[in-house]
Structure 1
């Protein structure tokens, strides 16, 4: 006779219980991994939004204050390279390089706005319909370009409004924060900087650097009926305004030369 026998009822129940426990644990791990994957995807989306927005601002700031090689002896007053606040600047001096003011949309109640100005060549597609500067330099006609960046919309998002054009354009959705500070040159060589908010700047021609912090959020998340908060990321950028810095250096050298000539 064989002494082999099957599992007892207690052993079978214990095995089923252990198997059920393992299945539950695996399902929980799977749910956690799924949520982690969705979180990382949302974080990547928010990061891409803030990265694209910061690159757009950085590209514009690199050109701020460039006026197409306009001769300095023309006596034409050029507007400030950058300003902040509500989005309005008046060209000071006479004659002016632009016809009147370049009014841009305000910040819409969300933190700060950034206004960037420079010249675009007549062949640049972005120059179409912009005011023409009252001079021709480097073999091309140059157009006054003033672009205002601010937060608006239900998203919200980063918007662009160009002076002389009626419609604003949403550049990047999901941008929830834009706060800029401006580095003011405090000595003759423009190397010693003090960063202040827009409302503390009295002379925008002293601004030789811009430091901005942007925040972005992802789209809302959800998994298996459970809502997950939006993921928020932040990124900062710092740009030295090359063209205004050159003007600052030239002005300081001219002032020093004038003082020297007076003494002679």
Structure 2
């Protein structure tokens, strides 16, 4: 039995490393409805790492059965399911639970698809997706539907005068707030987690964008320049370049 199959229909009991007071706060529960087991596994593992409780289902029928027993706080729904439309499932779940957060996963990004998903949902994410962005967007939706003090809490990441709040996804430098996009945040977090080590460009492409290195790709350079522009406004230059190798933090 796969991990995804083993967790279908019930909250995940192994929700990452707990901290003091986690049980009293209670973790937010996310229902993941995705028929591709490998994708469901990746989403489940990432959400568990961030201390969410996770329910999984592979079909509309399984999802409706699961919510009969447990009320999730947010549902992450694939639009195309074997036995129906994820958007129709979202309408049904929202009718049963009006305060439920809804995030849609779709392989199509045509304007009509986006408008259809956002007509009654809270957000949409196109495939292939960046896992950090998925977690960030679910967190943003939950902050709109649940009080912050009941969301999973994680200690901030720090490097010098830089602080990344992994609960609110707020970045501060020298005490001031720095507004980053989800991808910029994911890139900066990966650099911070690697401390002063120079991270090869190929590794950044794999871990932040989930793509393999291509000689003509300039996405890393582009986002490094975005980060520098924002971070250097509130402090001395922070990101260093090792030509022909990659990037690190001063």
Class of the TM-score when normalised by the shorter of the 2 chains: under 0.3
> TM-score, normalising length from structure 1?
0.22
> TM-score, normalising length from structure 2?
0.22
Structure of greater Rg = 1
- Kindly indicate whether structure 1 or structure 2 has the higher relative contact order, using CA contacts under 8 Å at least 6 residues apart: 1
